[in-house]
Homo-oligomer: A and B are copies of this chain.
């Protein structure tokens, strides 16, 4: 599966179509796009934290959802119409304070549905703090 958009193209598309994700400060950054894979960073700000300075569950869910969207977008091209139909996440460990990296892989890129798997970990960490799967409904191509 070859991507059809670059990191810069996806970033520009997100900025144009979904400026809200940067509301309150730019915290998400698309870091890497490769065949069947995308990597998105969450630079956690105050509003993503819980007592103890660790990233909240909803922030990890949002990261997984965005990373899934990015890997799909990068492989089908700039269509705003892909929508999440299902997201399931397991929280595995309490993250350390600091950025989180979401690495998302395409399990299926079908005519109507795209299914992705995302691992979330602290920077440079091997153990995942969360693991998610997300399904998107994609426009007919």
Which A residues are within 8 Å of any B CB, using their own CB?
A: 17-18, 20, 23-24, 46-51, 56-58, 61-62, 65, 80, 83-94, 107-108, 112-113, 115, 117, 128, 131, 133, 135, 137
Contacts and interface: CB of A to CB of B under 8 A. Distances in A.
A4 to B, nearest CB: 20
A90 B20 CA distance: 22
A83 B84 CA distance: 19
A110 to B, nearest CB: 8
Contact of A90 (B61, B85, B92): B85
Contact of A113 (B85, B87, B89): B85
Contact of A86 (B56, B135, B137): B135
